[in-house]
Structure formats: structure tokens, C-alpha cells
């Protein structure tokens, strides 16, 4: 992390607010996996809290960014955050009581309208300053929150390979866990409903009331499951429309005629990381192609074959696009991060034609042979996250356990594997087929 530190001698002047400048730099440079922790630390001098939660649908794989008390951040639900966000108007801070982590708590909440992101601070301390519209503390709190929200929005739009890999892993895990919970609770509620409908019970009124309550609970549970699916998938037509909207400022003033060929309306929904990557790839290709002086027209097209999102971008230039350019290398790394393929055809005098295929499903992993290490179930989960390059804090958030618990499991993993470092553990896991 690159942060300005106060230089000796204060060459910029003794009155500069170095703690605030360092906080701004920290938020600006923060990776998405730790941005909640960084923002909470930055806000601490102006707004204390027991926990801080960011809810943003820009991050389809992990829409919650959390820091603070494990009892809160491990239990807060999307349904709670969605309900709170719907009750807020504008971007002004709001303080009151709200259900967070299955309990009514004192919270301070703010929205960021460009992305509809939500900030929730539980048990706020010095909240009066944060709520004040005309005081420095309140303005700083709002500024730091907007800075973090913009950072998330820009990071997702850029869709670097590291984000795409993390998003794909998080999406798959969230869907698996949610599916298991829905099945488990649905079975329980259906069983209760069947028992209450039994003619062996005498109190018809009680049975009717209980049956109605259980039916509503089932509907709510299924709705939450659908909501989770909505967060990790995006209809292909909607994803393409977002692409056109994002590129409108670029295409309006470029002097280049950009034609968009829409995908079929009934095409398969796109996983969030594929939609983000596709938009970033098309945007990058347009910038590269439009930078050629002889280009007058560019055509961008999406299609689906049921297994892949097919992207084609073609220009009418003289065929001077350089495949070896650094910008093309960055785009290819995005494609490879999702196990996709990119083909570039340069036609001298006729332009360039770039085709990209992004798989809609993550590749099936080869079964890993880890039996010799005799790892427990949770230890194996921790090792899988280690092998994916995640740090202890990220693993704790993904598994809803404390960071100290992660450290405990990591120590046991090292002992059982016979290694002494994360690098050795990751290398050994990879050589055994664990990804």
C-alpha cells in the first residue's frame, strides 16, 4: 500500500493534516478484500463503531465488505441491508434503530447514489459529528465513504484478473452455501407445515394460523434465494445495455461510429465476473482501436452459445493494431483469468478483428489427492483459500470465522503438511491438484 507519510522537516508546511492525508491515501489504495477494514480505521477518529458493513451490488461475488465484531459481521444478511437501503433517501447520513445481524441495533447509514452502495456503521460513537452537515467531522466522514465507494466502483469496472478470480470463487461458494441453507430450512418448514395440517391436532384455528405463518416463511426464504441468485448473475441483455451506457460518453465525442450488435434476449444469464470482464474487454478494445488515426467505424457484438459468451470487436482501419502492445496483453490476461480465449486477426488494409470466448461456468477442478495430510473439513477449506492466494483476513470473511481461528487452522495445516511457510503450503497443494 502506498501512503504518504509525514516527511522530516515538514517541507510542505507544518499545518498539513498528515493523519487525514494518510487515511485518504490508504482508502484510495485499498484492495477490495480489505477496503472495509481500511475505511473503518480511517473513520475511527471521527466515527467509532462496533462494526462496519459495505453493501454494493457492483461486487456480484461478494457484495458485503465487512470489518469489526465477528458476532455482527458473520450474521448480517443481504435481506437486512437491502431493507435498510430501501428506507433511505438521498446521500445524507441517517441514524436510528435497524435490524442488523438478527438484532435491533443503533446504526448510522449512508448511501452512495451513483452505485447504490450502502454504508452501515453499528453502535456509532461520536455520531453527532458525522450527522452534522456543516461541520468538518461530518464532511470528512461522508468524503471518505464516497472515496471508498468510488474505489469499489472503479475497481470492479476495471475488472483486473485478480478481481475476476476472487469474484468467481466467491460466487460459486455463495451459491453452494445458500442452496444448502435453503434446502435445509425449506425441508424443516415443510415438515412443520405438514404436522400442523394433520387432522390429529384438535385446534383448527391454531393449525390455520401456524400454517399461514410457515407458508409466508417459505415464500420469504425462496425470495432470499432468488435475491442471492440475482446478485451473482446478470441477464445478458441487461449486461449489454450497461455496456452501451458505460461507453456512451466515449462514443458520443470520439468521431468514430461505434455499432453495437445486441445478444439474443433469451441468452443465458452471465455470472457477475463474466459480465464485468466482458464490459472491461470491450471498453479496452474500443480504446485501442479508436486510437488508430485511420479508424472510422468499430463494431462490437455479443452472442451466447449456451456455454460461452462470445465477444467480437472489429474496426475498419488499416490493420495497424499491434498484438504485442501492453494494452492488448492486459486484456488477454483478463481473458485468461476466466479460462477464456482471445484470437486477433490483423488484415492489412482492412482492419483488425478480435474474437473472445468467455466460459460461463468455472472449469471442473481435478480431484485433489490430499488424503495423506489427514486434514479436517475446515482445515481443507482454509487450505483451498490459501491455495487461491487469500490472506488470513479474507479467509476469515469468506468462512465467517475469526482471524485468530484462521491462524489456528493454518498452524495445524503447516504441521500436517510438513511445511513451514505459506509459499511451501501453496506449492505443495498445487502439485497435489488442489486449486
Query: Is it the case that residue 50 has pLDDT exceeding 90?
Result: yes
51 Cβ contact list (under 8 Å, min separation 6): 66, 67, 68, 69, 72, 73, 76, 121, 122, 123
Cα–Cα distances (Å) from 283 to 145, 164, 266, 280, 373, in that order, read: 27, 16, 24, 5, 46
CATH of domain 236-359: 3.30.565.10
Locate 257 and state its grid cell. Answer: 461510429
Domain 371-431 in the same topology as domain 18-158: no
Q: What is the pTM of this model?
A: 0.60
| Whether residue 426 has pLDDT greater than 70 | yes
Q: Which residue has the higher pLDDT, 27 or 77?
A: 27
Highest mean pLDDT among 84-98, 184-198, 386-400: 84-98
CA distance 299 to 90: 38
- The SS3 assignment for 139 reads helix
Question: β-strands 103-112, 117-122: how paired?
Answer: antiparallel
Q: How far apart are CA 351 and CA 317, in angstroms?
A: 4
- Average pLDDT on 192-207 reads 69
43 — phi, psi (to 5°)?
-80, -15
Phi/psi of residue 157, nearest 5 degrees? -60, -35
Query: What mean pLDDT do residues 256-281 have?
Result: 88
Tell me the per-residue pLDDT of 298-339, one tens digit each, with 9 for 90 and over.
999 999 888 999 999 999 998 888 888 888 988 998 898 888
- pLDDT tens for each residue of 230-245: 566 888 898 899 899 8
Read off the C-alpha cell for 4.
504518504
pLDDT-derived band at 11 (thresholds 50, 70, 90) equals very low
Q: What is the pLDDT of residues 363-406, one digit of tens each?
A: 655 555 677 888 888 898 898 888 776 778 888 888 888 889 99
Q: Write out the three cell numbers for 123.
A: 453502535
Q: Is the pLDDT of residue 85 over 60?
A: yes
Angle between helices 236-252 and 272-290 (to 10 degrees): 30
Q: Where are the domains of the chain?
A: 18-158, 161-233, 236-359, 371-431
User: What is the SS3 assignment for 270?
Assistant: strand
Class of domain 371-431: mainly alpha
Query: Pick the residue with more confidence: 178 or 429?
Result: 429
Edge-to-edge strands of the sheet including 341-347? 257-261, 297-304, 308-315, 351-359, 341-347
CB-based contacts of 23, cutoff 8 Å, min separation 6: 41, 42, 144
CATH topology assigned to domain 18-158: Beta-Lactamase (3.30.450)
Pairing mode of beta strands 308-315, 270-271: unpaired
The single-letter DSSP state of residue 32 is: G
Greater model confidence, 289 or 197: 289
Cβ atoms of 29 and 8 within 8 Å: the answer is no
Using the 8-state DSSP alphabet, how is residue 125 labeled? B
Return the C-alpha cell found at 38.
481500511
Helices (H), 233-325: 236-252, 272-290
Q: pLDDT tens-digit profile of 93-145?
A: 999 999 999 899 999 999 999 999 999 999 998 765 555 545 677 889 999 99
How many angstroms separate the CA atoms of 170 and 116, rounded?
21
Amino acid at each position: 500500500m502506498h501512503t504518504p507519510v509525514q516527511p522530516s522537516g515538514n517541507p510542505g508546511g507544518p499545518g498539513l493534516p498528515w493523519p487525514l492525508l494518510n487515511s485518504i491515501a490508504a482508502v484510495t489504495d485499498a484492495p477490495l478484500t480489505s477496503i472495509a477494514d481500511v475505511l473503518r480505521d480511517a473513520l475511527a477518529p471521527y466515527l467509532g463503531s462496533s462494526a462496519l458493513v459495505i453493501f454494493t451490488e457492483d461486487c456480484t461475488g461478494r457484495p458485503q465488505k465487512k470489518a469489526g465484531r465477528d458476532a455482527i459481521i458473520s450474521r448480517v444478511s443481504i435481506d437486512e441491508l437491502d431493507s435498510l437501503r430501501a428506507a433511505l433517501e438521498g446521500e445524507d447520513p441517517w441514524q436510528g434503530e435497524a435490524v442488523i445481524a438478527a438484532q435491533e441495533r443503533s446504526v448510522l447509514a449512508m448511501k452512495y447514489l451513483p452505485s447504490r452502495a450502502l454504508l452501515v456503521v453499528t453502535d456509532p460513537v461520536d455520531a453527532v459529528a458525522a450527522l452534522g452537515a456543516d461541520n468538518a467531522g461530518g464532511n470528512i466522514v461522508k468524503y471518505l465513504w464516497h472515496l471508498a465507494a468510488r474505489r469499489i466502483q472503479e475497481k470492479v469496472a476495471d475488472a483486473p484478473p485478480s478481481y475476476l478470480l476472487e469474484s468467481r470463487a466467491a460466487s460459486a461458494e455463495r451459491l453452494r452455501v445458500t442452496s444448502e441453507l435453503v434446502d435445509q430450512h425449506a425441508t424443516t418448514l415443510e415438515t412443520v407445515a405438514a404436522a400442523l395440517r394433520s387432522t390429529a391436532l384438535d385446534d383448527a384455528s391454531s393449525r390455520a394460523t401456524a400454517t399461514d405463518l410457515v407458508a409466508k416463511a417459505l415464500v420469504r426464504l425462496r425470495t432470499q434465494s432468488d435475491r442471492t441468485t440475482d446478485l451473482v448473475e446478470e441477464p445478458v441483455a441487461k449486461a449489454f445495455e450497461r455496456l452501451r451506457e458505460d461507453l456512451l460518453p466515449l462514443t458520443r465525442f470520439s468521431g468514430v461510429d461505434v455499432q453495437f450488435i445486441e445478444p439474443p434476449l433469451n441468452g443465458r444469464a452471465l455470472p457477475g465476473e463474466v459480465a464485468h470482464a466482458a464490459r472491461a474487454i470491450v471498453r479496452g478494445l474500443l480504446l485501442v482501436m479508436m486510437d488508430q488515426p485511420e479508424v472510422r467505424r468499430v463494431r462490437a457484438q455479443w452472442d451466447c452459445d449456451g456455454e460461452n459468451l462470445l465477444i467480437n470487436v472489429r474496426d475498419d482501419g488499416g490493420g495497424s493494431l499491434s498484438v504485442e502492445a501492453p494494452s492488448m496483453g492486459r486484456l488477454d490476461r483478463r481473458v485468461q483469468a476466466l479460462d477464456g480465449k482471445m484470437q486477433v486477426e490483423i488484415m492489412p488494409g482492412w482492419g483488425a478483428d478480435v474474437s473472445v470466448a468467455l466460459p460461463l461456468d468455472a472449469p471442473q477442478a481435478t480431484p485433489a489427492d490430499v488424503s495423506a495430510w489427514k486434514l479436517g473439513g475446515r482445515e481443507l477449506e482454509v487450505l483451498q483459500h490459501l491455495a487461491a492466494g487469500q490472506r488470513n483476513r479474507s479467509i476469515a470473511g469468506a468462512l465467517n470465522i475469526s482471524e485468530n481461528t484462521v491462524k489456528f487452522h493454518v498452524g495445524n495445516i503447516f504441521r500436517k503438511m510438513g511445511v513451514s511457510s505459506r509459499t511451501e503450503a501453496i506449492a505443495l497443494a498445487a502439485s497435489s491438484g488442489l486449486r
